[in-house]
Amino acid sequence: MPDKGSAGSGLKWLWLSAVIIILDLATKAAASQAFKLYEKMPLIPGWFNLTLAHNNGAAFSFLASESGWQRWFFALVAIIISSIIIFWLKKTPSNERWLAIALALILGGALGNLWDRLTLGYVVDFLDFYYQSGARELHWPAFNIADSAISIGAVMMVIDAFRNKSAER
């Protein structure tokens, strides 16, 4: 069981959140300057394009076709989740490094996408993975660095939950 003196040290991982935010905003700005909306540049033909897409919704364009209320709803959700994560990081013991990194990744991604929502009204996406077989293309929804950080952090949290269950046995 971790000692009480190690609580709060999870905040030292906020630098990772800052790195994610900076990388995310810089790459979104570069994509926005380099491409017209929905323009594509194949990097690995049949597998990967750079593109420019604007997502008014959440993951997989969930609620993107709504009238605009979703912008503020998703912004509020991001603010609430970010606040919870900061509190969680503050309480995370120093020996829980994996969990702290996962939380920092999710926080950085949430704040990167929140910035877009508040300043632009949509989230900029530019990474387009797909599979092409003949004339048929199957695309994964376009995403960005923030989305990647959130996904990696979430997977790390699931792994952490299983690791901790195994350790308890």
Please identify every residue annotated as catalytic.
Answer: 125, 147
SS3 call for 113: helix
Phi/psi of residue 137, each to 5°?
A: -115, 130
CA distances from 166 to 9, 92, 98, 118, 155 (A): 24, 19, 15, 41, 17
For residue 4, give the amino acid letter: K
Half-sphere exposure of 79 toward its Cβ, with a 13 Å CA cutoff? 9
Spell out the residues 6+ positions from residue 38 whose beta carbon is closer than 8 angstroms to its own: 51, 52, 53
Q: Do the beta carbons of residue 106 and residue 91 sit within 8 Å?
A: no
SS3 call for 51: strand
